[in-house]
Structure 1
Amino acid sequence: MAQWFVMYTKPRMETVAEDNLQRQHYRVFFPRALVRKRRPSQGAVEIVEPLFPRYLFVHLQQGVDDFSKLRSTKGCVDLVKFGGRPTPVPTELVDLIAQHASDQGVLNLLANQELEIGAKVRVAEGPFEGLVGTIAKQKSADRVLVLLNVLGAERSVEVPSVTLEKSSQ
């Protein structure tokens, strides 16, 4: 029975590894994510990047597929191993990721970043990193006013929306 395994790739060579594995007729799943990043010259931009940098999934059958030739595939380093043996990944995990991805394997993580007034958020980077607050106002397309508890009092702070993540607190 075929199972999913994790392939470790060379830096920024995931697509090269994916192409070369597919040319060898392996079933490959390379999940990517649509995210918003801040660029100094451009501000917030939407980009597609690997969901798991340097990793992709390969569908293999132990005893049938030759695992040794995978290491010499351009872009690949080796299968992820535990105890010196390639270890399969639960099929349910790969199915769950694929279920939420587009046909091209891209997960839209921007949909989860929609910030509403009153939502609890955590500052993920910058001088207020780690603080939890409440969104008070949308200032522009990429900046929000957040109420943070600083020095025992609630203060309003304007931060880039890409530095925030939803909080469960």
Structure 2
Amino acid sequence: MAHWYVMYTKPRLETQAVENLERQNYRVFYPQARVRKRRSTGLAEVVEPLFPRYLFVRLESGVDDFSKLRSTKGCIDLVKFGGKATPVPQALVDLIQSQLADDGLLHLEALNGMPKVGSSMRVADGPFEGLMATIAQHKGADRVLVLLNVLGGERRVVLSATQLQSP
């Protein structure tokens, strides 16, 4: 039975990794978000990875050769726990996919007030809706780096501040 796994990629080479994995007939899910960034010329909408340096690849244990993934251009290796590649729950991938707009992107909007570093917030919408997050760092005018308890450990995720609300 096939499962989704998380692939760790080289910096800013997610697109190259996707192309090379698809060329090898792997099914890949690379969630991206449309975000507003403050530029010297004003606000601009840009497309960024939802999880920089990470993407999802669908593999079947015992059928697919996991070892050749490391030598795929743009890829580093599958994310492992205890030295073993661990599948991602299907529900998590389904949840992210259900949040995609018609253009295949998540649309994250700017927030006027930013939460304080160290504060606990609830994710109000998006793929992690309902989870509690700790604000770790501000990333630009409208995004924050949060710590979420996902996949059996604490994970760093960049979210739009508009996705967060007080608990």
- TM-score when scaled to structure 1? 0.68
Max radius of gyration: which structure? 1
CA RMSD of aligned residues (A): 2.4
Partner deviation per Cα, 1:30-73 (whole Å, 9 max, x = no partner): 0001111112x222111110000000000000010000000000
Q: How does 1:2-151 map to 2 (within 5 A)?
A: 2-39=2-39, 41-102=40-101, 105-110=104-109, 113=110, 122-124=113-115
The alpha carbon displacement at 1:167 in A equals 3.2
SS of the residue corresponding to residue 62 of structure 2 reads coil
1:167 counterpart letter in structure 2: Q
Partner in structure 2 of residue 167 of structure 1: 165
- TM-score when scaled to structure 2? 0.69
Aligned length: 128
1:38 counterpart letter in structure 2: R
SS of the residue corresponding to residue 58 of structure 2 reads strand
Structure 2 CA distance for aligned equivalents of residues 67 and 28 of structure 1: 14
Structure 1 CA distance for aligned equivalents of residues 8 and 142 of structure 2: 29
Whether the 8 Å contact between 2:7 and 2:54 is mirrored in structure 1 is yes
The alpha carbon displacement at 1:106 in A equals 1.0
Percent identity of equivalent pairs:
62
The alpha carbon displacement at 1:20 in A equals 0.4
Whether the 8 Å contact between 1:29 and 1:105 is mirrored in structure 2 is no
2:35 counterpart letter in structure 1: V
Whether the 8 Å contact between 2:114 and 2:142 is mirrored in structure 1 is no
Partner in structure 2 of residue 141 of structure 1: none
Partner deviation per Cα, 1:81-103 (whole Å, 9 max, x = no partner): 00000000000000110111135
Partner deviation per Cα, 1:91-120 (whole Å, 9 max, x = no partner): 00001101111355311112xx4x7xxxxx
